[in-house]
């Protein structure tokens, strides 16, 4: 019997093709208000027609995936939620918006405090979340948010603005406003960072974790000693991450983010 070995190039092309096929499982959509628009992808549960409510996971990408192709934002998250061992076990909706080039999910003041008003992409995301949760059978007590780098900042920002909306948060190599710790101390948080990160210093995550601990919270924090600014690779491969995430639930969720 003849055996065929894939060359590195062929293997790369095979993986690229597989990712492209997988990404088509995410609906390709655009949310628009009167002035601005926000491209986004939406993954539905395998059996969305069942008479039950499903969790919603919101993923905020990093600065390198900004744009308008409505593709790049899936680069670091699609494989996790399309993995067969998780797709059936943890059916959920996954919302992945794409921030336009030159814009941010979150803007901090010079002193590190959260800006009074959310950025334009964040404003659009806020109304988009309300739209998605109204249209689809989503469990309001199990809405989760995660993001990496720029999206890590966005994750800290959004839970601070709406502390009674999210059942759990997973900020990866990001940073937030330490002054908001008392506002979000009840939210289960598991943060990740690389100790050798020179793009977003690990002291950013350490400061948020310390601030939460100072107000009586018990956040989870994993810092990888030999990793630089790619800690999301290890974070999203943690075997206990999704079991932990989908186990979180809030008793009295806010009806809408705009409330």
pLDDT band, residue 47 (cuts 50/70/90) = confident
Cα–Cα separations (whole angstroms), residue 120 to 4, 35, 105:
52, 10, 8
Examine the pLDDT at 2 and tell me if it is beyond 50.
no
Cα–Cα separations (whole angstroms), residue 4 to 1, 11, 14, 17, 108:
10, 12, 14, 19, 54
Measure the CA–CA gap between 232 and 236, rounded to whole angstroms: 6
The tokens describing 163, both together, are: 């502390």
pLDDT of residue 152: 98
33-49 average pLDDT score: 90
The ranges assigned to domains in the chain are 19-246
For the question of whether the overall pTM of this predicted structure is more than 0.95, the answer is: no
**pLDDT tens digits, one per residue of 195-216:** 999 999 999 999 999 999 999 9
Cα–Cα separations (whole angstroms), residue 137 to 51, 73, 128, 131:
8, 24, 15, 12
213: left (phi over 0), alpha (psi -120 to 50) or beta: alpha
pLDDT band, residue 24 (cuts 50/70/90) = confident
Mention the CATH class of domain 19-246.
Answer: alpha beta
């Amino acid at each position: 019997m003849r055996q065929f070995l894939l060359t590195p190039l062929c293997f790369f092309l095979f993986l690229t093709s597989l990712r492209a096929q997988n990404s088509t499982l995410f609906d390709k959509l655009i949310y628009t208000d009167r002035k601005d628009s926000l491209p986004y992808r939406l993954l539905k549960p395998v059996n969305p027609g069942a008479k039950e409510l499903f969790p919603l996971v919101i993923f905020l990408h990093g600065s390198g995936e900004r744009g308008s192709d409505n593709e790049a934002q899936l680069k670091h998250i699609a494989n996790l939620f399309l993995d067969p061992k998780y797709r059936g076990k943890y059916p959920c909706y996954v919302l992945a918006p794409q921030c336009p080039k030159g814009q941010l999910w979150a803007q901090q003041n010079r002193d590190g405090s959260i800006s009074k008003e959310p950025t334009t992409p964040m404003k659009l995301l806020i109304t988009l979340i309300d739209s998605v949760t109204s249209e689809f059978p989503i469990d309001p007590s199990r809405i989760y948010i995660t993001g990496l780098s720029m999206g890590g900042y966005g994750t800290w920002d959004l839970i601070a603005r709406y502390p009674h909306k999210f059942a759990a948060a997973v900020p990866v190599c990001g940073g937030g406003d330490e002054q908001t710790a008392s506002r979000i101390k009840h939210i289960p948080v598991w943060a990740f960072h690389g100790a050798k990160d020179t793009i977003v210093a690990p002291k950013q995550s350490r400061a948020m974790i310390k601030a939460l601990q100072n107000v009586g919270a018990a956040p989870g924090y994993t810092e990888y000693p030999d990793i630089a600014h790619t800690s999301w690779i290890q974070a999203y491969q943690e075997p206990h991450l999704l079991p932990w995430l989908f186990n979180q639930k809030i008793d009295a969720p806010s009806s809408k983010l705009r409330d």
